[in-house]
Amino acid sequence: MSTLRQLRNFWILWVTTIVLACCSDAVAQVSYTVTDLGDLNGGNLGCAMGVNNHGWTEVMYGTQDPEQTGPLVQGRAGVNIEGLKIDLGTLGGKNSWTNYNGINERGEAVGLAETAVPDPDGEDVCAFGTHLTCRPFLWRNGHMSALPTLGGNNGQASGINKHGQIAGFAQTTVTDSGCPPYQITYGVIWDKGRAQPLPPVGSDPDAVAFGINNQGQAVGYSGTCIAANNAVLWENGTATALPTLEVPGALGVAINDLSQIVGQVASADGTTAYGALWQNPQNYTITSLNTLPGDFYSFAEGINNQGQVVGSTQLENGDWSHAFIWQDGVMTDLNTLFPASSNLYATMANSINERGQISGMATVLSGPNAGKIHAFLATPVNASVGKSIADVARTHPKITLPANVGKQLLHRLGLGPFEQ
């Protein structure tokens, strides 16, 4: 099964402690209250992928078998509004899921959901092992509806802006010669229900869009069914490749209203991959965000209009390690800004709104839910953090993730050493 089709490879969580001594004053003075967004339908796994300016989150909630030793048996996209959890449902199948940036200020949410129809080519684009067709969806006014593809069988929606424009990808009717019998995939902007194709760049056959800003600019990547070659900005339907660090391999994930873009780029020596920030829209330049001490990879996943960037770092084996915030050239472990009382160790930060609220994923450290993976919402406060969760979490808990969670939780694309 192709990397592009499954958008796969989620990694096991790793919790460790790093207290940075070189934080800038702007970052060091910020602390957060942390809200545990819990579970849904009795599940035991959650990750908040998007947050709007009201602090409402879109969460992917999962249910593993009771012994927490086998595969994820169900996944649902959900919306959490100040503690009210809403199951968004499906399109006739058993499961639904989310990508990045999938909720706007009107409470409209987007993602991917199974239908009841088997995929005619045997693909498993929703990646729940059912091999049902996977469709992009829009959830609005309590109802989920399927968005059109580009004539092909499958697609996924990712980001939505305040106007209701949606970014994602959809299959065409053309067979992908690199991955037959599967179909060529293009990025898409859905506007008022109509699918506008976003082509790849150069000779690349495939493309995927993730983020969209309020000006209708979209970002994602262009590549093949097994590799993301170029981070791409689409404007008025035209694709522009963004600069890399000398070697191919990059993707864009989010774009703010100042046209600043974040994502990931292969390192100049091709051995790892780092979070990336592209700025100066007239002539884009790239800043590599590197990673936290002791970690090997990083991934920038969200940016607001203040230029605050959030993301995640990983160990060399790919295990998630720390959520971070990057501001004014300084990357800070988010756990050093969480109070010890939060009981959540953040391993992934996915989105940040204009209020500075951050959504992501964390490990529960103690109590009846110890070791479970919960979604969180962090809200900045004007107070000293005192003793942080990083000060008290001296050892990482043992975590067992579902065997198939890599196909359902986060989407890793073919950036050289990332490809598995």
Q: Could you tell me which residue, 199 or 39, shows the higher pLDDT?
A: 199
H-helix or E-strand containing 26?
A: helix 25-28
Q: Is residue 70's pLDDT more than 70?
A: no
pLDDT tens digits, one per residue of 122-168: 999 998 889 999 999 999 999 999 999 999 999 999 999 999 999 99
Instruction: Report the chain's terminal Cα–Cα distance, integer Å.
Output: 12
* 3-class secondary structure, 4: helix
Could you give the number of structural domains in the chain?
1
Question: Does residue 403 carry a pLDDT above 90?
Answer: no
User: How far is Cα 28 from Cα 40, in angstroms, rounded to an integer?
Assistant: 34
Say what the pLDDT of residue 51 is. 98
Whether the CB-CB separation of 215 and 189 falls below 8 Å is answered with no
| pLDDT > 90 in the chain, percent | 73
- Mean pLDDT (whole number) for 223-230: 90
| pLDDT score at 420 | 28
The tokens of 195 are what? 């699918």
pLDDT at 23 over 90: no
d(CA 189, CA 212): 9
- Per the model's pLDDT, the better-predicted residue between 69 and 129 turns out to be 129
Average model confidence (pLDDT) for the chain?
86
pLDDT for 98 beyond 60: yes
Asked if 117 contacts 107 with a C-beta cutoff of 8 angstroms, the reply is no
CB 110 within 8 A of CB 101: no
- What is the per-residue pLDDT for 25? 37
Q: Which residues, 6+ apart, have CB-to-CB distance to 143 below 8 Å?
A: none
| pLDDT score recorded for residue 14 | 23
pLDDT > 50? residue 410: no
% the chain with pLDDT above 70: 85
Mean pLDDT for the stretch of residues 238-255: 94
> Sheet containing 297-303: which strands, arranged edge to edge?
297-303, 309-314, 320-327, 330-333
User: Taking a C-beta distance cutoff of 8 angstroms, is the pair 125, 6 a contact?
Assistant: yes
The answer for residues whose C-beta is within 8 angstroms of residue 226's C-beta and 6 or more apart is 2, 3, 4, 178, 179, 414, 419
Q: Rounded mean pLDDT of 322-331?
A: 95
* Reported confidence tier of residue 332, pLDDT bands at 50, 70, 90: very high
Please report which confidence band the pLDDT of residue 316 belongs to, taking 50, 70 and 90 as the band edges: confident
Q: CATH number, domain at 162?
A: 2.130.10.150
Q: What's the confidence (pLDDT) of residue 2? A: 39
209 contact partners, CB below 8 Å, separation of at least 6: 158, 159, 167, 168, 169, 187, 188, 189, 198, 218, 219, 220, 234
Calpha distance 119→141 (Å, rounded): 29
pTM of the complete model beyond 0.85:
yes
**Both tokens of residue 167?**
């970014």
Query: Residues 241-253: what's their mean pLDDT?
Result: 93
Print the domain residue range for 299: 3-418
pLDDT of residue 404: 52
pLDDT in the model for residue 9: 30
Amino acid at 14: W
Question: In terms of C-beta density within 10 A (0-12 exposed, 13-18 middle, 19 or more buried), how is residue 280 classed?
Answer: exposed
Q: Measure the CA–CA gap between 62 and 405, rounded to whole angstroms.
A: 9
**Element holding 169 (H helix, E strand):** strand 166-175
Provide the pLDDT for residue 29: 54
In this predicted structure, which of 45-49, 290-294, 404-408 has the lowest mean pLDDT? Answer: 404-408
3-state per-residue secondary structure call for 334-346? HHHHCEHHHCEEE
Q: What Cα–Cα distance (Å) separates residue 315 from each residue in 262, 276, 298?
A: 20, 18, 9
Place of tokens 């495939």: 206
Residue-wise pLDDT tens digits, 359-377: 999 999 999 988 889 999 9
pLDDT of residue 102: 97
pLDDT in tens, 270-306: 999 999 999 999 899 999 999 999 999 999 999 999 9
The single residue listed with the structure tokens 């790892």 is: 272
293 forms bridges with which residues in the sheet?
Answer: none
Torsions phi, psi for 134 (to 5 deg) = -120, 125
Contact residues for 201 (Cβ-Cβ < 8 A; gap 6+): 207, 222, 230, 232, 239, 240, 241
If pLDDT is split at 50, 70 and 90, which confidence band does 319 have?
Answer: confident
Distance between CA atoms of residues 213 and 102, nearest Å: 12
